[in-house]
Amino acid sequence: MKLTYLGTAAAEGWPAVFCNCENCKEAARLGGRNIRTRSQALVNDDLLLDLPPDTYLHKLANGLDLTKVRYLFVTHWHMDHFYPQELTIRGSYYSHGMVSPELDVYCAEGTKGLFDKIGWEANRDTLDAIHFHILSAFTPVQAGPYTVTPLPANHMHELDGGGNTPHPYIYLIEEGGKKLLYGHDTGYFYPEVWDFLGKAGHIDLVSMDGTCGRRKVGLRGGHMGLPDNLEVKARLIEMGVCNEKTVFVINHFSHNDGICYDHLVPVAEKDGLIVSYDGMRINT
């Protein structure tokens, strides 16, 4: 399985859209891998994880053919993970020579609800080619060659104005005998998620939430910092589902509490963690 990190920041990007803090100035000064756009990842060429407002930028920056994407898994409807308006210009007279005219979208009901609010902007051909599948926690779905199990994320269960919670998911993705856990956005895992992971078999790549820098967040914060990442890593190894061959990545960074890429790498490397950057590719 090939995993490409297209965007690696939290909601506001880094440097943030409207910010002049020291961390944003430092990232701008350093440039390169210190510049982070909103989180999105691509598995092989056809399974997309999240649809942030920076999707178009990711296509340009990585020379992607997004018409190859057949499956879209959305973690939750926070704006850095789901910008549904983008789907209204997919297909019909906006798109030609598409490799995959059909798109299967897998998400929570509330996420689809956000698309439904703006779906009237799309024409009939576009809507007919998009097939939503509402996920249930712990129930795997088969998306072509991928077996994907949604696990409940520990992340911001507040209600929106319409009374919906984000029902966030993290995903265990299996294909070609390899497994990867895409864990964004989430705080320290719920007990039932640990129970599931304990029986999941060997995991080849674990992508953990690194939003909170050096701060320990624990069960309450909805994200993780380095101390949480190390606890998760140690527990997965202790349970026997990860070992020295497992690749551990930290990803989804914020200028708040954050340490720029150049400064974070030496810290994380000592603990066997890879720090993501926009455009990073990993083969498992």
Site for Zn ion in 23-42 (CB under 5 A): 24
Position 134 contacts Zn ion (CB under 5 A): no
Position 112 contacts Zn ion (CB under 5 A): no
Please report where in the chains the tokens 């299967």 appear, as a residue.
104
Helix ranges (H only) for the chain are 22-30, 55-62, 109-118, 124-128, 191-198, 226-238, 261-270
Position 6 contacts Zn ion (CB under 5 A): no
Cα-based distances in Å from 201 to 2, 180, 271 = 20, 11, 23
Taking the complex as a whole, the smallest distance from the CB of residue 181 to Zn ion amounts, in Å, to 16
Taking the CA atoms of the chain, what radius of gyration do you get in angstroms?
Answer: 18
Between 24 and 42, name the residue whose CB sits nearer to Zn ion. Answer: 24
Position 209 contacts Zn ion (CB under 5 A): no
Between 15 and 91, name the residue whose CB sits nearer to Zn ion. Answer: 15
Site for Zn ion in 58-87 (CB under 5 A): 78, 80
Position 89 contacts Zn ion (CB under 5 A): no
Between 122 and 259, name the residue whose CB sits nearer to Zn ion. Answer: 259
Contacting residues for 41 by C-beta, under 8 A, at least 6 apart: 3, 4, 5, 6, 48, 49, 50, 182, 207
Between 6 and 24, name the residue whose CB sits nearer to Zn ion. Answer: 24
Span interacting with Zn ion, options 21-29, 82-90, 110-118, 125-133, rule CB under 5 A = 21-29
Position 173 contacts Zn ion (CB under 5 A): no
Span interacting with Zn ion, options 16-24, 56-64, 128-136, 241-249, rule CB under 5 A = 16-24
Instruction: Decide: 220 and 232 in contact? Cβ < 8 Å.
Output: no
Taking the complex as a whole, the smallest distance from the CB of residue 25 to Zn ion amounts, in Å, to 8
Contacting residues for 90 by C-beta, under 8 A, at least 6 apart: 103, 126, 129, 130
Position 185 contacts Zn ion (CB under 5 A): yes
**Exposure letters 167-186 (e unless 16+ CB within 10 A, then b):** bbbbbbbbbeebbbbbbbbb
Binding site for Zn ion (CB under 5 A): 16, 19, 21, 24, 78, 80, 185, 255
